[in-house]
């Protein structure tokens, strides 16, 4: 795996001790570690990471469908990425969050610029969590909204 500039990583996700980092340090560490192959291919970058709110951006360019609009699947990838990160911060250190359901509603087409996703928890329980992800365009207009449900699994099981 490589980081955002293509250089190989010399560390593992286990090296990131979420409870010891400020939200700013955690955001930087996750951006440096990498968000996974698909999120990196989509150009997703984190702005803020915490259990209560996770924010990231994604370029429209490179993620369009044939009609020139942001692909709806790209919205789903942004939503699941941000919701999963927020859920895993909430689950740390004893559990991990695994997505089990996602629903995305597209409200307004986006042709260029960037979209920003904001993931906030609706419910964080012992075994499940639900997250609302609002996706807005460069004019701060809602272009999509999503709901992600995760299962909190005990680590090493």
- Could you list the active site residues? 80
Strand, coil or helix: 134: strand
Strand partners for 133:
119, 146
Strand order in the sheet with 45-48: 45-48, 54-59, 114-124, 128-136, 142-154, 95-106
Specify whether the CB–CB gap between 87 and 150 falls below 8 A.
yes
Specify whether the CB–CB gap between 142 and 136 falls below 8 A.
yes
């Amino acid at each position: 795996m490589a980081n955002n500039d293509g250089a190989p990583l010399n560390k593992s996700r286990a090296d990131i001790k979420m409870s010891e980092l400020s939200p700013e340090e955690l955001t930087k560490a996750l951006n440096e570690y990498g968000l996974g192959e698909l999120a990196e291919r989509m150009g997703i970058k984190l702005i803020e990471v915490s259990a209560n709110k996770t924010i990231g951006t994604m370029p429209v360019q490179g993620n369009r469908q044939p009609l020139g609009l942001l692909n709806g699947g790209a919205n789903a990838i942004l939503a699941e990425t941000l919701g999963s990160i927020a859920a895993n911060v909430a689950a740390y250190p004893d559990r991990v969050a695994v997505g089990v359901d996602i629903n995305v509603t597209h409200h307004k087409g986006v042709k260029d610029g960037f979209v920003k996703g904001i993931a906030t928890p609706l419910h964080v329980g012992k075994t499940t969590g639900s997250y609302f992800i609002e996706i807005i365009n460069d004019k701060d207009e809602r272009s999509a909204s999503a709901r992600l449900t995760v299962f909190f699994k005990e680590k090493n099981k």
